[in-house]
Amino acid sequence: MPRPLPVPTEDEPAFWAGGAAGHLLVHRCRACRNWFHPPAPVCPSCFDRDVGPEPVSGRATVWAATVNHQPWFPSLPPPYVVAIVELAEQPGLRMLTNVVGCDPARVAPGMAVAVEFEPLADEIWLPVFRPSAP
- Output the pTM of the full model: 0.94
Convert the pLDDT of each residue in 59-80 to its tens digit.
999 999 999 999 988 888 999 9
pLDDT at 126 over 90: yes
Task: For residue 4, report the phi and psi dihedrals to the nearest 5 degrees.
Answer: -60, 140
pLDDT band at 15 (very low <50, low <70, confident <90, very high): very high
How far apart CA 35 and CA 89 sit, in angstroms, is: 8
Give yes or no for a contact between 16 and 5, defined as CB atoms under 8 angstroms apart.
Answer: no
How far apart CA 120 and CA 127 sit, in angstroms, is: 10
How far apart CA 32 and CA 47 sit, in angstroms, is: 10
